[in-house]
Structure 1
Amino acid sequence: MNKKILKQIADGLNKLNCTWAIGGSVLLNHYNLVKKPNDIDILIDPNDTSKIKDFMDSIGTPVELPSKEPFRTKEFFGYIVDDTMIEFMGDFKIDIGDNNIYRFVLDKDAIVNKMFVDNTTVYLTSLEDWIVAYKVMNDPKKRVVLLKEYFVKEGIKHKHLLERNLLQDLPKDVKELIIDLLN
Structure 2
Amino acid sequence: MATIFNEHNILFKQKQSPVPEFAWHTSEKLASVVGSKHLFFDIRSLDPGKYSYPYHFHRNAEEIFVIMEGKALLRTPKGIEELGTGDVVFFETGPEGAHQLFNHTEAPCKYLDLRTNNGLDVAEYPDSGKINILPYEELYQTDDKVDYYKGEDKTREKWEKLSGSSSSYSDKGDNSQ
Relative to the length of structure 2, the TM-score reads 0.29
Structure with higher helix content: 1
Structure number, greater radius of gyration? 2
Structure with higher strand content: 2
